[in-house]
């Protein structure tokens, strides 16, 4: 097997195991708190700490990669995850659970940045969309594989953390089998030095920061408040839950088709010789934002059309997933070396902020302006993304609009 393919399989496998373990273990911890009579507020704080670590490590991830290298950064992410799960097995003290969940989220944030960047860096020429689409589909599958495995083991089973430890330990072993990542050098080029640093990465990729935020807002943030909006429309709890399911399903199934479509459109654009036309990635991003805006306009009439509400929720989740996937592909086509990891970190940070503030803004909009507040908020956010894409030549430097050869 070729070294590049082996490296990709290793990254895919270790990431899958670590994420499934995390999505299985966190609900198990929350159930333990509930059984012990711990307040909902404390449980919510524990769940929130799984995002705090990502926000803390993301700005530092690219600097860490420069210092220790890509392979060592990925191994460190697996090691921290294994230590976190082992610690949960050794103690039941609440303060330690908070610290260990925070440690796990730091590990997940580091793996998020390094894993995404390595996949696009190792993707064969002309197949970046396919590789990224497969990777994002795999990541999306872990969102429900973890809870499903938890249900199979039993939500009160003491075997859950042991299974999680086996999975994270296996992921750690896989990362040690990664060896030397082929295809690029660890050396920092003059281009990397001139453009190094997170602030520079934000300035050079302002439009993509906006798009990543919009993707996180719709995929991670809106889905959280869909049950509340469903109830406000007069739907019962079952139908409101189906809205969440539809959004989550879409964000998992659209990744690979979006990546394949980018590869196909890019090939057709190259064959036509029309290099001045907008890239396939930008065109598809615009379609996503326009589709979201169009369907959001029908929201005031959803109360009488439950099936349409499910379709709209599916589109929201799918559009958010597409925007994120296309952003990753765009970064992989334009950046290399240290700049690749810095730009990926910026994207992850923007996506995470969108996922975190989405529920806060959504709930506030529903409270202040009844049924119209939520649609107005979604229109404003999607229109901002469309504007950023339409005026990309203003927000992004011209270099960023031209794909770089691998």
What tens digit of pLDDT does each residue of 353-393 get? Answer: 888 888 778 878 877 776 678 888 888 888 888 888 887 54
C-beta separation of 346 from 201 below 8 A: yes
Exposed, middle or buried: residue 248 (CB in 10 Å: 0-12, 13-18, 19+)?
buried
The DSSP result for 273-293, as a single string, is: T-TTSPPHHHHHHHHHHHHHH
pLDDT at 164 over 90: yes
Whether 3 has a pLDDT exceeding 70, the answer reads no
Q: How far is CA 227 from CA 141, 246, 267, 309, in A?
A: 21, 12, 41, 12
244 pLDDT more than 70: yes
Name the nearest CA neighbour of 111 among 15, 13, 8.
15
**Highest-confidence segment of 186-190, 238-242, 276-280:** 238-242
Answer whether residue 400 shows pLDDT above 80.
no
Reply yes or no on whether the pLDDT at 159 is more than 90: yes
pLDDT value of position 107: 95
Q: Where are the alpha helices (DSSP H) in 335-402?
A: 337-368, 370-390, 392-395
* The predicted structure's pLDDT at residue 30: 84
The least confident of 99-113, 114-128, 142-156, 264-278 is: 264-278
pLDDT score, position 143: 78
- The three state secondary structure string of 369-384 is CHHHHHHHHHHHHHHH
pLDDT of 192 reads 41
Torsion of Cα atoms, 321 then 327 then 330 then 331, to 10° = -130
* pLDDT surpasses 50 at 334: yes
88 falls in which pLDDT band (50, 70, 90)?
Answer: very high
In the 8-state DSSP scheme, what is residue 69? -
Q: Could you state, in order of their start, the residue ranges of all structural domains in the chain? A: 3-183, 199-401
Q: Whole-angstrom Cα distance, residue 332 to residue 207?
A: 15
pTM of the shown model: 0.79
Number of neighbours of residue 1 by Cβ within 10 angstroms: 7
Higher pLDDT residue, 180 or 395?
A: 180
Query: Which residues are CB-contacts of 39 (< 8 A; sequence separation ≥ 6)?
Result: none
Averaged confidence pLDDT in the chain: 80
Provide the pLDDT confidence category of residue 189 given band limits of 50, 70 and 90. Answer: very low
Higher pLDDT, 85 or 259: 85
Return the pLDDT at 250.
Answer: 82
Domains 3-183 and 199-401 share a fold: yes
Measured CA to CA, the distance from residue 344 to residue 96 in angstroms comes to 31
CATH of 199-401, one of 1.10.569.10, 3.40.50.150, 1.20.1250.20, 1.10.3720.10: 1.20.1250.20
Cβ proximity of 150 and 27 under 8 Å? yes
User: By CB neighbour count within 10 A (0-12 exposed, 13-18 middle, 19+ buried), where does 287 fall?
Assistant: middle
Q: Is the pLDDT of residue 71 over 50?
A: yes
Q: Average pLDDT, stretch 22-38? A: 86
C-alpha–C-alpha distance, residues 138 and 166, integer Å: 20
Q: Please, which pLDDT band fits residue 278 given cuts at 50, 70 and 90?
A: low
Backbone angles phi, psi at 36, to 5 degrees: -90, 5
Q: What does the pLDDT look like over 248-273, one tens digit per residue?
A: 788 778 888 888 888 888 777 777 66
Tokens at 147, concatenated: 């809870």
Which residues, other chains included, contact 133 with Cβ-Cβ below 8 Å and sequence gap of 6+?
255, 256, 257, 258, 259, 260, 325
- 3-183 CATH, one of 3.40.50.1000, 3.30.390.50, 1.25.50.10, 1.20.1250.20: 1.20.1250.20
The pLDDT value recorded for residue 398 is: 36
pLDDT of residue 198: 62
Among the listed residues 202, 394, 226, the one whose alpha carbon sits nearest the alpha carbon of residue 310: 226
């Amino acid at each position: 097997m070729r070294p590049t393919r082996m490296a990709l399989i290793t990254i895919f496998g270790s990431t899958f195991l670590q994420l499934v373990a995390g999505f299985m273990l966190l609900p198990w911890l929350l159930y333990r708190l509930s059984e012990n009579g711990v307040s909902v507020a404390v449980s919510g704080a524990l769940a929130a700490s799984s995002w705090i670590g990502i926000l803390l490590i993301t700005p530092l991830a690219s600097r860490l990669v420069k210092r220790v290298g890509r392979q060592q950064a990925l191994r460190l992410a697996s090691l921290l995850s294994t230590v976190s799960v082992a610690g949960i097995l050794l103690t039941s003290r609440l303060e330690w659970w908070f610290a260990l969940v925070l440690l796990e989220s730091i590990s997940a944030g580091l793996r998020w940045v390094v894993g995404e960047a390595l996949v696009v860096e190792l993707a064969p020429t002309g197949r970046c969309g396919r590789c990224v689409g497969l990777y994002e589909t795999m990541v999306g599958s872990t969102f429900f594989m973890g809870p499903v495995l938890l249900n199979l083991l039993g939500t009160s089973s003491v075997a859950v953390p042991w299974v999680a430890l086996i999975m994270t330990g296996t992921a750690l072993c896989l990362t040690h089998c990664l060896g030397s990542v082929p295809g690029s050098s660890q050396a920092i080029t003059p281009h990397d030095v001139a453009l190094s640093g997170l602030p520079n990465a934000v300035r050079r990729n302002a439009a993509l920061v906006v798009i990543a935020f919009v993707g996180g807002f719709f995929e991670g943030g809106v889905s959280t408040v869909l049950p509340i909006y469903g109830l406000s429309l007069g739907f019962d709890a079952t139908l409101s839950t189906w809205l969440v399911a539809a959004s989550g399903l879409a964000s998992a199934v659209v990744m690979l088709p979006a990546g394949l479509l980018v590869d196909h459109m890019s090939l057709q654009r190259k064959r036509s010789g029309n290099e001045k036309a907008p890239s396939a990635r930008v065109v598809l991003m615009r379609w996503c934002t326009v589709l979201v805006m169009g369907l959001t306009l029908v929201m005031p009439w959803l109360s009488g059309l439950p099936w349409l509400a499910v379709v709209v929720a599916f589109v929201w989740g799918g559009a958010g997933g597409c925007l994120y996937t296309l952003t990753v592909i765009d970064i992989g086509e334009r950046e290399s070396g240290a700049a690749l990891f810095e730009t990926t970190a910026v994207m992850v940070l923007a996506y995470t902020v969108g996922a975190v503030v989405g529920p806060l803004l959504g709930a506030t909009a529903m409270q202040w302006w009844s049924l119209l507040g939520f649609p107005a908020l979604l229109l404003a956010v999607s229109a901002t993304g469309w504007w950023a894409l339409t005026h990309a030549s203003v927000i992004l430097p011209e270099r960023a609009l031209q794909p770089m050869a691998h």
